[in-house]
Structure 1
Amino acid sequence: MGRTLVYPKAAYNTAHRHNECATYDLREIHTIINTTKILHVSFNSTDPAAGPYPAILPMIGQMGSFTHPSADLNEPLECYIHGYVSMRMASLARINDGLPVTIAASKVDGLVLSLTPYSHNYIYRSAVLFGHAQVVTDAEEKLFAMQLITDSVMSGRWEGSRTPPNGAELGATAILRVKIAGGSGKISEAGADDKKEDLESEQVTSRVWSGIAPVWEVIGQPIPAKTNAVKILPEYMDKFVQGENEISEKHATELAKAR
């Protein structure tokens, strides 16, 4: 069995509330990031006109390593984020020696329905990364990141589409590489935590349903565009849809049944 690498604890990434759910394990944190469709990236603008509020953007991103493409999720990785060339975040990353950013991802696996609203909860996974974003300027690294992100949308899609991107597409696309300084996550798999007096009250238990409603993402059957000329759905797409749905449903239902 290999080593379990963890992010070192620091003031900015140490969990305090419900720290029994906290994880600093690289594999667990990176897996949450890589399986979340939308990441929320926050940063502070140096422009007074932007106002006093931190900016937060929904973005597509993926953990990876250009220098070590075969690196495992249990190893130190960068987070590559896809954006538009003129977006404010990219402009700030070019001016500064790395723009400080925070990246957040969350997934809900179940609704915990207890006897009282006070004890309702979610079964969930969340991760937060802290690091500095820089614009990728190397052409090979940019293509690496674009393929990494494209295949995170649907495995095999890079090869299944018209590639490589042309000059105009490459010029309009900005890829940010976030060098990770630290991170942490929370994984809550607890079931209903009902009070003794409620559990012993037949009036309550006979009236109120309690348990867990599993939650998982479902990818629907692909619907062809009006301009689509491919008559049969490519095998890689069919396998991806079925495989992702089976994995998501199994994960959520097994968690619910185990509580």
Structure 2
Amino acid sequence: MPDSAEVFAPTDRSRVRRSHQRAQYDKDAVFAVVDSTPLCHVGYVIDGQPYVTPTMQWREGEKIYWHGSSASRMLRAVKGGIPVCVTVTHFDGMVMARSPFHHSANYRTAMLFGRAHALEDRDAKEASLKIMMDGLFPGRWEELRGNTDQELKATTVVAMEIEDAVAKVRSGPPIDDEEDYATVQCWAGVLPRRAVWGTPEPDPKMDRPHPVPSYLKEIPYE
């Protein structure tokens, strides 16, 4: 069993009640899901109306960050400290069973709960954006011109201390009723799904050819 310091203690909002055997509360499992894709969905409530907004995220320690336009209704709302649920999901395949009831999906998902606040200090905001860029494309930040004061003013970066979180994972073949293995004659198994990067496409407005940077060459293409 992981040490208690390495586990998010289940709470009423994070405890998995259905298929609880797939729940993983240890931090390594949660962070593995979060760190393997930049896309997340931020759930929150404004004036009694629930919203879910897709955005890009990055993590540093036990804080998760996201950013966007300072005019964003979502960011204006969540940076004030309202409760937030951040969800990260990977869809890994269709599970095709011997009955409609036992068809399923293979997936990895994480739900993280907390309250967000805005980074107000200019240097802290820029440092966090650099962490995002370095996590995606190590070395690219140094190739770019810096952010202007106006661009940073127009950008809101929020941080959320992860108060509690859970990962839920399903993998492997279908789980059928025992008698169906012998009596139902049809194909059963998993149709895997994989997300892959395409070949880099150069901007036609580049004034002269530039080689594909090394950090892109290291990404496996389709």
Q: Give the match's secondary structure for 1:178.
A: strand
1:182 corresponds in structure 2 to 164
Equivalent residues of 1:82, 1:149 under 8 A apart: no
More strand by share: 2
Tell me whether 1:131 sits opposite 2:137 in the alignment: no
More helix by share: 1
1:194 corresponds in structure 2 to 176
1:212 corresponds in structure 2 to 190
Equivalent residues of 1:114, 1:193 under 8 A apart: yes
1: CA distance between counterparts of 2:8 and 2:15?
10
Q: What do the CA deviations read for 1:226-248 (whole angstroms, capped 9, x no partner)?
A: 11234321111111x22xx69xx
Shift of 1:195: 2.2
Letter in structure 1 aligned against 2:41: H
With the length of structure 2 as denominator, give the TM-score of the two structures: 0.90
Shift of 1:191: 1.5
- Shift in alpha-carbon separation, 1:154–1:214, aligned structure 2, 3 A: farther
Q: What do the CA deviations read for 1:10-65 (whole angstroms, capped 9, x no partner)?
A: 1111111011000111111122112223210011114xxxxx42111101111115
Superposition pairs of residues 1-259 of structure 1, within 5 angstroms = 3=3, 5-46=6-47, 52-65=48-61, 77-93=62-78, 96=80, 98-160=81-143, 162-201=144-183, 204-205=184-185, 208-228=186-206, 229-239=208-218, 241-242=219-220
Shift of 1:140: 2.2
Shift of 1:93: 4.2
List alignment gaps of at least 5 residues for structure 2. Answer: none
Runs ≥4 residues deviating over 4 A: none
Task: Give the superposed CA RMSD.
Answer: 2.0
With the length of structure 1 as denominator, give the TM-score of the two structures: 0.78
2: CA distance between counterparts of 1:10 and 1:130?
10
Equivalent residues of 1:60, 1:149 under 8 A apart: no
Letter in structure 2 aligned against 1:130: F
Equivalent residues of 1:34, 1:152 under 8 A apart: no
Q: Percent of counterpart pairs with the same letter?
A: 26
2: CA distance between counterparts of 1:192 and 1:90?
41
Shift of 1:215: 1.3
2: CA distance between counterparts of 1:117 and 1:152?
41
What is the count of residue pairs matched by the alignment? Answer: 219
- Shift in alpha-carbon separation, 1:116–1:156, aligned structure 2, 3 A: farther
Q: What do the CA deviations read for 1:41-94 (whole angstroms, capped 9, x no partner)?
A: 011114xxxxx42111101111115xxxxxxxxxxx111111111112332345
